[in-house]
Structure 1
Amino acid sequence: MRGFVFALVLVHCMMGAILDVNAAEYTLGIFGNANMDSTIDEQDVSYLRGIISGVNPVTELADATYDGMINEGDIEQIQRIINGSEDYIFLKTFTIYDKAKVVRVPMPVSKIAILNLASAEAIRCVDAEEMVTAVGTSVVEGTNKEFFGELSNRPTVGKWSEPDVESIIQLRPEVVIADLRFPDTELLEDKLNSSGIAVVRMGFTYPDYFQSEMMALGYMLNRKSEAEDLLDFAYRYVDLIEERLASIPADEMPRVYPIYSPSDFWKTGSNGSIVDMLCGLAGGRNIAHDLKGGTGGMYPTVDPEWVIKEDPEIIFTWSSPGGYSVLNDTDMVNVWNSIVKSPELSQVSAVKNNRVYLLTTEITSRPRWFVGLAYLAKWFYPDYFKDLDPEAIHEEYLERYQKVKYQGTFVYPTQTSA
């Protein structure tokens, strides 16, 4: 049975890769979600009974106890998840370089350590700050301290990429939430292997995985309604953008060159990267989509001559200087000027037609990536989105889900001056 189940894993992952990330339906990655929808409920019990009786096909997540067998024990586990009395859940976590990992999470969770900024923001989205017993040093450093407020007063357990495992063990969280890529498993999972502390890898930044990750967080922390509320808010705009762009033929979408870093105009993002996902969702054709190179094969470096030949109609950079505590656009203006005055880029249509845009990572690679998406969609298609107000969306998100006032510098040119 187990061999068959894991054969289905590969099929499911391949199918997931071609699904539209804007689709309202997504698969909650918790074992026990037998019918592969976005929740665990009595329908999963019914579906599992159908598997046992031979009526329904086996699915990837049907084995709720993750023991290689599908039987009445799995039905009992599903019922425990439904009524909130489960002792554990098996969670499928996404990675962007390796195959998905399955993690056993002890339940209920009352104490967690969070290593990176995106996870800290996600925790506040579901109103679970009181569970946080430790944070990575990035949460308390520099301008992040102002944004994260009370969370920045928690004990620190090293850098997000180089955690202090001994400190984690001393604080005894049930779960550590870490980035998808860093640190390597040898520096975290392997060292915590005998401690009973689960490591859950979550990004909260990749549109492809965002819904499943947020709902898995809601299940794990008993914050399902809070996770659902955030997703309802975010996908009000994601779905609106998808609907309005649905009728535009692919060959009529603008050619876009995303710049990964303002310090290197020739490093870009290709298929699988956040910048490529955002570009596609906003209705752009990333000229680097099919290239390979750089970290994970997703961040290649290109030749300036190639960019000139491709002649992008729009350029954007997703990691420009700015942020919540930056109250002027001086640094962004300097980056913008350096792009438009570049000898090579000054030859392309994007610069000639004044269609160069800058965004900060706070609205492109955090749980509020949909704010960056709203800006891109409006810049790409101003006539389609005259009524879309990305700044208002951002303000509501910050005040409603992060409990902070709206301030900062996040884009350039601003919406009104674009």
Structure 2
Amino acid sequence: MRELAFALVLVQCIMSVALHADAAEYTLGIFGNANMDSIIDEQDVSYVRGIIDGTNPVTELADATCDGRIDEGDIEQIQRIINESENYLIIKTFTIYDKAKIIRVPMPVSKIVILNLASAEAIRCVNAEELVTGVGTSVVEGTNKEFFGELSSRPTVGKWSEPDVESIIRLRPDVVIADLRFPNTELLEDKLNSSGIVVVRMGFTYPDYFQSEMMTLGYMLNRKSEAEDLIDFVYRYVDLIEGRVASVPADERPRVYPIYSPSDFWKTGSNGSIVDMLCGLAGGRNIAHELKGGTGGMYPAVDPEWVIKEDPEIIFTWSSPGGYTVSNDTEMRNVWNSIVKSPELSQVSAVKNKRVYLLTTDVTSRPRWFVGLAYLAKWFYPENFKDLDPEEIHKEYLERYQNVRYQGVFVYPK
């Protein structure tokens, strides 16, 4: 029976990790985390002994070696992870549109290539810049060059969504950290398999998975304490916001219309998208939550008449102009004016009451997503969050975890 139960668990290895937004309750997606909590420690050794003895049920991550058996070999691997002497980690990464991927990462990791901006920012959060041997071109382009400083001096390996595989192979990294969706596996994993280079896909953007991803990165790069410190900092504010909005009845929460981009007022984000997650965490009701369409079914197009009928109380965009090197709010103010002067949107309550807000992707679609969350919570419930200062939170994050001084324009109006 134990073998049958374990076989069923192995089938689950292709399913998504069940993670939680609560800081105290998330599952670290590394095999060996037998008791399915947020750390690998002696409790996991005890739990596996219980499985072997028949007193504990088999869990999804109990097979630390992923060899199809629960035995002393798993206990040995867990002990090696605890002692930081393991020669591999088997991790489970989530994806947005596909089933979870099981990846075997050689340890220790001494050289990495990072393809996208979110990964570059995450690497700096755990003080692992010295391991980076190559970057995607977005890290060195435009305003990102100033923000990323030393990282932008690394050799480039092509666009984050269309990397130059030959350039990656020449750098001989142990691991490539790539975006969840792009490039597709045919353009990356399939071409790197024969070279022994492992691809790990991480988003560092989605609240539901952020803690597990950051902690997994900490284990991979031997930066566990740094990852824990960041998670504690982030969830100090996430938990505060969730705690205060939890008592607001669903029918009293503001109705919100998220706009995907200033260039398209009629594209939005629905269930599963980062904007929908942020809206919900901040205590809003996304009027597009149940809609389907667009990339992954999460970014539907809507009719202006539908928005007018739904009559949102708040409108915000999450990819407005602005950023670290922007010195004034002129562009954002122009976008704001274009929204409030739109013939269709001017008919809804959000515009009539001037509850229209803009954010950049810097604070919504990277490890700084919690800064965007803080702004949304304050805009949704100004009376409930008088003591919350999103700008100060952002400033501390940049100075403490990115080692850059605070500057730029990220929201409008403040």
How far apart, in 1, do the equivalents of 2:199 and 2:227 lie? 20
For the 8 Å contact 2:15–2:99, the answer to whether it is kept is no
CA shift digits 1:135-164 (9 cap, x unpaired): 000000000000000000000001000011
Matched, 1:330 2:330: yes
Which residue does the alignment assign to 1:37?
Answer: 37
The structural deviation recorded for 1:3 is: 2.7
For the 8 Å contact 2:107–2:220, the answer to whether it is kept is yes
Counterpart amino acid of 2:306?
W
Counterpart amino acid of 1:148?
F
How far apart, in 2, do the equivalents of 1:281 and 1:120 lie? 25
The structural deviation recorded for 1:122 is: 0.2
For the 8 Å contact 1:256–1:314, the answer to whether it is kept is yes
Matched, 1:155 2:155: yes
Partner SS, residue 134 of structure 1: strand
Once the two structures are superposed, the pairs formed by residues 347-386 of structure 1 within 5 Å of their partners are: 347-386=347-386
Counterpart amino acid of 2:393?
I
Which residue does the alignment assign to 2:10?
Answer: 6
CA shift digits 1:185-228 (9 cap, x unpaired): 00000000111111000000011100000000000000000000
Which residue does the alignment assign to 2:100?
Answer: 100
CA shift digits 1:39-82 (9 cap, x unpaired): 00000000001111111111110110011111111110000000
How far apart, in 2, do the equivalents of 1:164 and 1:111 lie? 17
CA shift digits 1:329-356 (9 cap, x unpaired): 1110111001000000000000000000
Partner SS, residue 266 of structure 2: strand
How far apart, in 2, do the equivalents of 1:408 and 1:369 lie? 16
Which residue does the alignment assign to 1:57?
Answer: 57
CA shift digits 1:333-389 (9 cap, x unpaired): 111001000000000000000000000000000101000000000000000000000
Which residue does the alignment assign to 1:74?
Answer: 74
For the 8 Å contact 2:359–2:412, the answer to whether it is kept is yes
Partner SS, residue 214 of structure 1: helix
Partner SS, residue 110 of structure 1: coil
Q: Which runs of 4+ in 1 moved over 6 A?
A: none
Partner SS, residue 256 of structure 2: strand
How far apart, in 2, do the equivalents of 1:20 and 1:353 lie? 35
Which residue does the alignment assign to 1:87?
Answer: 87
How far apart, in 1, do the equivalents of 2:128 and 2:405 lie? 19
Matched, 1:139 2:143: no
Once the two structures are superposed, the pairs formed by residues 145-294 of structure 1 within 5 Å of their partners are: 145-294=145-294
How far apart, in 2, do the equivalents of 1:286 and 1:354 lie? 18
How far apart, in 2, do the equivalents of 1:24 and 1:345 lie? 41
Counterpart amino acid of 1:411?
V
User: Which structure 2 residue ranges, 5 or more long, are not aligned?
Assistant: none
Counterpart amino acid of 2:190?
D
TM-score normalised to structure 2 length: 0.98
For the 8 Å contact 1:12–1:60, the answer to whether it is kept is no
How far apart, in 1, do the equivalents of 2:14 and 2:211 lie? 20
The structural deviation recorded for 1:6 is: 2.7
The structural deviation recorded for 1:7 is: 4.0
Partner SS, residue 113 of structure 2: strand
For the 8 Å contact 1:359–1:412, the answer to whether it is kept is yes
Which residue does the alignment assign to 1:339?
Answer: 339
Which residue does the alignment assign to 2:316?
Answer: 316
User: Which structure 1 residue ranges, 5 or more long, are not aligned?
Assistant: none
Partner SS, residue 385 of structure 2: coil
How far apart, in 1, do the equivalents of 2:193 and 2:12 lie? 28
For the 8 Å contact 2:20–2:209, the answer to whether it is kept is no
How far apart, in 2, do the equivalents of 1:43 and 1:195 lie? 37
TM-score normalised to structure 1 length: 0.97
For the 8 Å contact 1:267–1:301, the answer to whether it is kept is yes
Which residue does the alignment assign to 1:393?
Answer: 393
The structural deviation recorded for 1:246 is: 1.2
How far apart, in 2, do the equivalents of 1:43 and 1:8 lie? 23
How far apart, in 1, do the equivalents of 2:31 and 2:403 lie? 33
Partner SS, residue 194 of structure 1: helix
Partner SS, residue 169 of structure 1: helix
For the 8 Å contact 2:374–2:390, the answer to whether it is kept is yes
The structural deviation recorded for 1:262 is: 0.8
The structural deviation recorded for 1:11 is: 7.8
Which residue does the alignment assign to 2:24?
Answer: 24
For the 8 Å contact 1:8–1:59, the answer to whether it is kept is no
How far apart, in 2, do the equivalents of 1:79 and 1:347 lie? 63
How far apart, in 1, do the equivalents of 2:11 and 2:63 lie? 13
How far apart, in 2, do the equivalents of 1:123 and 1:344 lie? 43
For the 8 Å contact 1:363–1:410, the answer to whether it is kept is yes
How far apart, in 2, do the equivalents of 1:9 and 1:202 lie? 17
How far apart, in 2, do the equivalents of 1:20 and 1:174 lie? 30
Counterpart amino acid of 2:312?
P
Partner SS, residue 163 of structure 2: coil
CA shift digits 1:113-142 (9 cap, x unpaired): 000000000000000000000000000000
Coordinate RMSD, CA, aligned: 1.1
Partner SS, residue 261 of structure 1: coil
Partner SS, residue 305 of structure 1: helix
